[in-house]
Amino acid sequence: MRLEINDISKSFINNGETHQVLKDISFTIEEGEFVTLLGPSGCGKTTLLTIIAGFQQAEEGEIVLNDKKVVAPGPDRGFVFQNYALFPWKTVRENILYPMKQLKVPKAEREKRLEELLKMAQLEGKGSLYPHQLSGGMKQRTAVIRALASRPQVLLMDEPLGAVDFQMRKDLQEQLEAMWIKDRTTVIMVTHDVDEAVYMSDRVILMSNEQGKILADLSIPLERPRDREGKKYTMYKQQLMDLLGNKTIKKKETIYQVV
Protein backbone atom coordinates (compact mmCIF):
# COMPACT_ATOMS: atom_id res chain seq x y z
CA MET A 1 0.00 0.00 0.00
CA ARG A 2 1.24 3.44 -0.91
CA LEU A 3 -0.95 6.51 -0.92
CA GLU A 4 0.22 9.73 -2.49
CA ILE A 5 -1.47 13.06 -1.98
CA ASN A 6 0.02 15.20 -4.76
CA ASP A 7 -0.38 19.00 -4.88
CA ILE A 8 -4.04 19.01 -3.93
CA SER A 9 -5.83 22.36 -4.18
CA LYS A 10 -9.48 23.03 -3.53
CA SER A 11 -11.54 26.17 -3.08
CA PHE A 12 -15.19 26.91 -2.47
CA ILE A 13 -17.21 29.97 -3.37
CA ASN A 14 -19.30 31.25 -0.48
CA ASN A 15 -21.42 34.40 -0.92
CA GLY A 16 -19.51 35.28 -4.07
CA GLU A 17 -16.14 35.05 -2.33
CA THR A 18 -13.60 32.40 -3.21
CA HIS A 19 -12.23 30.62 -0.17
CA GLN A 20 -9.08 28.59 -0.76
CA VAL A 21 -9.44 25.63 1.60
CA LEU A 22 -6.52 23.49 0.42
CA LYS A 23 -3.45 24.80 -1.40
CA ASP A 24 -0.81 22.47 -2.89
CA ILE A 25 -1.14 19.84 -0.18
CA SER A 26 1.32 16.97 -0.66
CA PHE A 27 2.38 14.03 1.46
CA THR A 28 2.81 10.27 1.14
CA ILE A 29 1.47 7.58 3.42
CA GLU A 30 3.22 4.27 3.83
CA GLU A 31 1.85 0.82 4.61
CA GLY A 32 0.60 0.35 8.16
CA GLU A 33 0.96 3.96 9.30
CA PHE A 34 -1.58 5.53 11.63
CA VAL A 35 -1.71 9.14 10.45
CA THR A 36 -3.77 11.94 11.93
CA LEU A 37 -4.90 15.08 10.16
CA LEU A 38 -5.04 17.60 12.98
CA GLY A 39 -6.23 21.17 12.75
CA PRO A 40 -8.81 23.70 13.87
CA SER A 41 -12.41 23.54 12.78
CA GLY A 42 -12.86 24.73 9.20
CA CYS A 43 -9.25 24.19 8.08
CA GLY A 44 -10.23 21.63 5.45
CA LYS A 45 -9.68 18.27 7.15
CA THR A 46 -12.98 16.78 6.01
CA THR A 47 -12.52 18.25 2.55
CA LEU A 48 -9.13 16.57 2.21
CA LEU A 49 -10.33 13.24 3.61
CA THR A 50 -13.33 13.15 1.26
CA ILE A 51 -11.07 13.95 -1.71
CA ILE A 52 -8.88 10.99 -0.70
CA ALA A 53 -12.05 8.89 -0.43
CA GLY A 54 -13.11 9.98 -3.92
CA PHE A 55 -16.39 11.54 -2.72
CA GLN A 56 -15.34 14.84 -4.29
CA GLN A 57 -12.62 15.95 -6.66
CA ALA A 58 -9.77 18.40 -6.18
CA GLU A 59 -9.38 21.30 -8.60
CA GLU A 60 -5.71 20.60 -8.95
CA GLY A 61 -3.49 17.70 -8.02
CA GLU A 62 -4.23 14.02 -7.68
CA ILE A 63 -4.59 11.19 -5.20
CA VAL A 64 -2.66 8.09 -6.19
CA LEU A 65 -3.28 4.76 -4.44
CA ASN A 66 -0.85 1.99 -5.42
CA ASP A 67 0.11 3.81 -8.62
CA LYS A 68 -3.52 4.26 -9.65
CA LYS A 69 -5.22 7.63 -9.72
CA VAL A 70 -8.29 7.88 -7.47
CA VAL A 71 -11.32 9.06 -9.44
CA ALA A 72 -14.24 7.68 -7.40
CA PRO A 73 -14.99 5.99 -4.07
CA GLY A 74 -13.93 2.35 -3.90
CA PRO A 75 -13.75 -0.61 -1.51
CA ASP A 76 -9.98 -0.08 -1.24
CA ARG A 77 -10.78 2.93 0.97
CA GLY A 78 -12.98 2.34 4.03
CA PHE A 79 -14.71 5.42 5.45
CA VAL A 80 -16.02 6.11 8.95
CA PHE A 81 -18.25 9.18 9.13
CA GLN A 82 -18.32 11.50 12.12
CA ASN A 83 -21.90 10.52 13.01
CA TYR A 84 -21.23 6.78 12.36
CA ALA A 85 -23.86 6.64 9.55
CA LEU A 86 -25.00 3.13 10.50
CA PHE A 87 -28.21 1.94 8.84
CA PRO A 88 -30.72 2.33 11.70
CA TRP A 89 -33.05 -0.29 10.23
CA LYS A 90 -30.33 -2.92 10.01
CA THR A 91 -28.82 -4.90 12.88
CA VAL A 92 -25.11 -4.77 13.70
CA ARG A 93 -24.69 -8.00 11.76
CA GLU A 94 -26.57 -6.69 8.71
CA ASN A 95 -24.68 -3.40 8.82
CA ILE A 96 -21.37 -5.25 8.68
CA LEU A 97 -22.47 -7.76 6.05
CA TYR A 98 -23.82 -5.01 3.79
CA PRO A 99 -20.54 -3.86 2.18
CA MET A 100 -19.45 -7.47 1.69
CA LYS A 101 -22.76 -8.29 -0.05
CA GLN A 102 -22.26 -5.26 -2.29
CA LEU A 103 -18.86 -6.68 -3.22
CA LYS A 104 -20.36 -10.14 -3.76
CA VAL A 105 -18.09 -11.78 -1.21
CA PRO A 106 -19.15 -15.48 -1.01
CA LYS A 107 -21.48 -16.28 1.91
CA ALA A 108 -19.13 -18.53 3.87
CA GLU A 109 -16.36 -15.96 3.65
CA ARG A 110 -18.73 -13.14 4.67
CA GLU A 111 -19.80 -15.02 7.77
CA LYS A 112 -16.22 -15.82 8.70
CA ARG A 113 -15.15 -12.20 8.31
CA LEU A 114 -18.20 -11.06 10.30
CA GLU A 115 -17.25 -13.27 13.27
CA GLU A 116 -13.64 -12.11 13.06
CA LEU A 117 -14.67 -8.44 13.06
CA LEU A 118 -17.19 -8.80 15.89
CA LYS A 119 -14.49 -10.46 17.96
CA MET A 120 -11.98 -7.73 17.16
CA ALA A 121 -14.45 -5.04 18.25
CA GLN A 122 -15.57 -7.00 21.33
CA LEU A 123 -19.08 -7.12 19.95
CA GLU A 124 -19.55 -10.88 20.07
CA GLY A 125 -23.17 -11.69 20.80
CA LYS A 126 -24.30 -8.19 19.82
CA GLY A 127 -24.90 -8.93 16.15
CA SER A 128 -28.69 -8.97 16.42
CA LEU A 129 -28.97 -5.56 18.09
CA TYR A 130 -30.07 -2.46 16.20
CA PRO A 131 -28.01 0.77 16.33
CA HIS A 132 -30.47 2.44 18.74
CA GLN A 133 -29.83 -0.41 21.20
CA LEU A 134 -26.09 0.27 21.25
CA SER A 135 -24.01 2.59 23.42
CA GLY A 136 -22.02 5.34 21.69
CA GLY A 137 -18.86 3.28 21.92
CA MET A 138 -20.51 0.19 20.45
CA LYS A 139 -21.89 2.24 17.56
CA GLN A 140 -18.49 3.66 16.89
CA ARG A 141 -16.85 0.22 16.93
CA THR A 142 -19.57 -1.11 14.62
CA ALA A 143 -18.89 1.75 12.18
CA VAL A 144 -15.17 0.98 12.23
CA ILE A 145 -15.54 -2.74 11.60
CA ARG A 146 -18.14 -2.10 8.89
CA ALA A 147 -15.53 0.07 7.16
CA LEU A 148 -12.96 -2.72 7.61
CA ALA A 149 -15.31 -5.43 6.29
CA SER A 150 -14.19 -5.01 2.68
CA ARG A 151 -10.53 -5.26 3.74
CA PRO A 152 -9.66 -1.75 2.55
CA GLN A 153 -6.09 -0.73 1.82
CA VAL A 154 -6.61 2.36 3.91
CA LEU A 155 -9.18 3.27 6.55
CA LEU A 156 -10.32 6.92 6.51
CA MET A 157 -12.00 8.15 9.69
CA ASP A 158 -13.52 11.61 10.07
CA GLU A 159 -13.53 12.54 13.77
CA PRO A 160 -14.71 9.04 14.72
CA LEU A 161 -14.89 10.07 18.38
CA GLY A 162 -16.25 13.55 17.74
CA ALA A 163 -19.63 12.88 19.29
CA VAL A 164 -18.29 11.24 22.42
CA ASP A 165 -17.86 13.00 25.75
CA PHE A 166 -14.45 13.65 27.26
CA GLN A 167 -14.24 10.76 29.75
CA MET A 168 -15.51 8.12 27.40
CA ARG A 169 -13.32 9.44 24.62
CA LYS A 170 -10.15 8.23 26.31
CA ASP A 171 -11.55 4.73 26.77
CA LEU A 172 -12.62 4.66 23.14
CA GLN A 173 -9.23 5.86 21.95
CA GLU A 174 -7.73 2.91 23.79
CA GLN A 175 -10.26 0.48 22.30
CA LEU A 176 -9.73 1.88 18.83
CA GLU A 177 -5.99 1.56 19.26
CA ALA A 178 -6.34 -2.04 20.45
CA MET A 179 -8.39 -2.83 17.34
CA TRP A 180 -5.82 -1.18 15.13
CA ILE A 181 -2.98 -3.12 16.74
CA LYS A 182 -4.78 -6.36 15.78
CA ASP A 183 -5.65 -5.22 12.29
CA ARG A 184 -2.82 -2.86 11.26
CA THR A 185 -4.71 -1.40 8.33
CA THR A 186 -3.22 1.91 7.26
CA VAL A 187 -5.29 4.68 8.85
CA ILE A 188 -5.88 8.36 8.20
CA MET A 189 -7.92 9.84 11.01
CA VAL A 190 -9.21 13.40 11.27
CA THR A 191 -9.33 15.07 14.67
CA HIS A 192 -9.16 18.53 16.21
CA ASP A 193 -8.06 17.07 19.56
CA VAL A 194 -4.31 17.36 20.22
CA ASP A 195 -4.25 14.72 22.96
CA GLU A 196 -6.11 12.27 20.73
CA ALA A 197 -3.62 12.89 17.91
CA VAL A 198 -0.60 12.25 20.14
CA TYR A 199 -2.19 9.21 21.77
CA MET A 200 -3.22 7.50 18.54
CA SER A 201 -0.78 8.45 15.80
CA ASP A 202 2.53 7.38 14.36
CA ARG A 203 2.47 10.66 12.53
CA VAL A 204 0.55 13.92 12.82
CA ILE A 205 -0.06 16.19 9.85
CA LEU A 206 -0.96 19.57 11.21
CA MET A 207 -3.17 21.74 9.03
CA SER A 208 -3.71 25.46 9.40
CA ASN A 209 -6.57 27.76 8.64
CA GLU A 210 -4.38 30.05 6.59
CA GLN A 211 -4.57 29.22 2.91
CA GLY A 212 -4.85 25.53 3.39
CA LYS A 213 -1.21 24.83 4.10
CA ILE A 214 0.34 22.03 6.12
CA LEU A 215 2.03 23.53 9.18
CA ALA A 216 3.99 20.49 10.27
CA ASP A 217 4.48 16.79 9.63
CA LEU A 218 5.45 15.28 12.95
CA SER A 219 6.48 11.68 13.69
CA ILE A 220 5.54 10.29 17.10
CA PRO A 221 7.74 7.25 17.63
CA LEU A 222 6.51 6.49 21.16
CA GLU A 223 5.78 2.95 22.34
CA ARG A 224 2.17 1.82 22.63
CA PRO A 225 0.06 1.96 24.68
CA ARG A 226 1.23 5.45 25.50
CA ASP A 227 1.57 7.09 28.86
CA ARG A 228 -0.43 10.30 28.69
CA GLU A 229 1.54 11.68 31.61
CA GLY A 230 4.94 10.80 30.11
CA LYS A 231 7.56 13.46 29.53
CA LYS A 232 7.93 12.95 25.79
CA TYR A 233 4.19 12.60 25.35
CA THR A 234 3.67 15.94 27.06
CA MET A 235 6.39 17.48 24.94
CA TYR A 236 4.78 16.38 21.68
CA LYS A 237 1.46 17.73 22.86
CA GLN A 238 2.98 21.05 23.82
CA GLN A 239 4.74 21.39 20.48
CA LEU A 240 1.55 20.77 18.57
CA MET A 241 -0.34 23.24 20.75
CA ASP A 242 2.38 25.84 20.24
CA LEU A 243 2.25 25.31 16.50
CA LEU A 244 -1.53 25.58 16.54
CA GLY A 245 -1.22 28.76 18.55
CA ASN A 246 1.40 30.02 16.07
CA LYS A 247 4.02 30.38 18.76
CA THR A 248 7.63 30.34 17.67
CA ILE A 249 9.48 27.26 18.80
CA LYS A 250 13.15 27.38 19.66
CA LYS A 251 15.20 25.75 16.92
CA LYS A 252 17.01 23.23 19.10
CA GLU A 253 13.71 21.85 20.34
CA THR A 254 12.43 21.32 16.84
CA ILE A 255 11.63 17.67 16.27
CA TYR A 256 9.05 18.19 13.59
CA GLN A 257 9.66 18.77 9.97
CA VAL A 258 7.97 21.99 8.92
CA VAL A 259 6.80 21.73 5.36
125-179-96-48 Cα dihedral, nearest 10 degrees: 150
State the DSSP H helix or E strand holding residue 100, giving kind and residue range, or none if neither: helix 92-102
User: Rule CB under 6 A: is residue 45 a binding residue for ligand ADP?
Assistant: yes
Contact between 23 and ligand ADP by CB under 6 A: the answer reads no
Q: How far apart are the first and last CA of the chain?
A: 23
Please tell me whether residue 46 binds ligand ADP under the rule CB under 6 A: yes
Q: Closest separation between CB of residue 176 and ligand ADP, Å?
A: 19
Judged by beta carbon, residue 17 or residue 165, the one nearer ligand ADP is: 17
Q: What is the largest CA-CA distance in the chain?
A: 58
Q: Judged by CB, which is closer to Mg ion: 10, or 110?
A: 10
For Mg ion, the binding residue among 11, 36, 46, 140 (CB under 5 A) is 46
| Span near ligand ADP by CB under 6 A; candidates 14-22, 71-79, 98-106, 215-223 | 14-22
Bridging pattern class, strands 17-30 and 2-14: antiparallel
Rule CB under 6 A: which of 100-129 touch ligand ADP?
none
- Pick one of 4, 38, 47, 142: the residue that binds ligand ADP (CB under 6 A): 47
Closest distance of CB 66 from Mg ion, Å: 26
Which of 5, 34, 36, 44 binds ligand ADP (CB under 6 A)? It is 44
Distances (CA, A) of 171 to 92, 114, 126, 165, 168: 21, 24, 19, 10, 5
Going by DSSP bridges, is the β-strand pair 186-191/203-207 parallel, antiparallel, or unpaired?
unpaired
Q: How far is the CB of 66 from ligand ADP (least distance, A)?
A: 25
- 43, 187, 197, 216: residue in contact with ligand ADP (rule CB under 6 A): 43
Cα angle for residues 106, 128, 135 (degrees, 5° grid):
120
Cα–Cα distance for residue pair 102/88, rounded to 1 Å:
18
Residues that bind ligand ADP (CB under 6 A): 12, 14, 19, 21, 39, 41-47
Residues that bind Mg ion (CB under 5 A): 46
